[in-house]
Amino acid sequence: MDLNFCFFLITVLVINLTPGPAMLFVIQQSIHSGVKSGIQSALAVEIGVLFYVILTSFGLIIIFNHVPILYNIITILGILYLLYLAFLSWPRKIDGVNTTPQDKHRKPFIYGVFINLLNPKIGLFFLSLLPQFISPTAQPLWLYFLCYGLIFNLSGFIVNTLATLSANYLKSKTTNYGQWIHYISPLIFICIACIAITRLFS
């Protein structure tokens, strides 16, 4: 196996193991709606990534460099979407009892797709990362980009699925966790949105 490819696999694993809004969303769905919903969400967030994998493979992502306003618009939509997710997942009080919105009445699959679809940094990330591991003499170049991107996709799905199973397992073993745990996800969504806002206007 090519040494460069081994470094790529290690890099992909490290990146996918780093918690982010997508993993957080998957874990949240698993805790509130069960393993099936968590796995559906894991598949959904990778479909969002797949969109940018395809764009990167065929060079269409370069449009962000020529039309920066488009990048900013998608970034702003992503920030608003994170805040929307925070609102949806914020625990509600009904008759003095804290509850969280029922995910079974939502469409977690669609929400998961949009988490990464509204994150143009993923496309730029692929554009800056993949060339480091692919030889410029490799032909056809687009096929190498696509294959490496799909490997990243598959790794992300496996990691998020394991996160789903782990979250559900810990929930079943922890019977006396307080209501405060339901505030973690929306608060982190808000924090990520605030960080994105500061970066956008910095």
Quick check: pTM over 0.85?
no
pLDDT at residue 43, as a whole number = 93
Number of domains observed in the structure of the chain: 1
11's tokens: 């890099």
User: pLDDT (tens digit, 9 = 90+) per residue, 158-187?
Assistant: 999 999 998 877 776 665 555 666 676 677
In a domain, 39, yes or no: yes
In a domain, 173, yes or no: yes
pLDDT at residue 167, as a whole number = 83
In a domain, 2, yes or no: no
Residue 86 CA to residue 82 CA, distance in Å, equals: 6
In a domain, 123, yes or no: yes
| Whether the predicted pLDDT of 188 surpasses 90 | no
In a domain, 110, yes or no: yes
In a domain, 20, yes or no: no
Of 53, 49, 55, 45, the residue nearest 22 (C-alpha): 45
In a domain, 56, yes or no: yes
What is the domain range of residue 75?
30-200
Grade residue 57 by pLDDT with cuts at 50, 70 and 90.
confident
Least confident residue range of 104-108, 126-130, 164-168 = 104-108
pLDDT at residue 117, as a whole number = 85
User: What's the chain's average pLDDT?
Assistant: 79
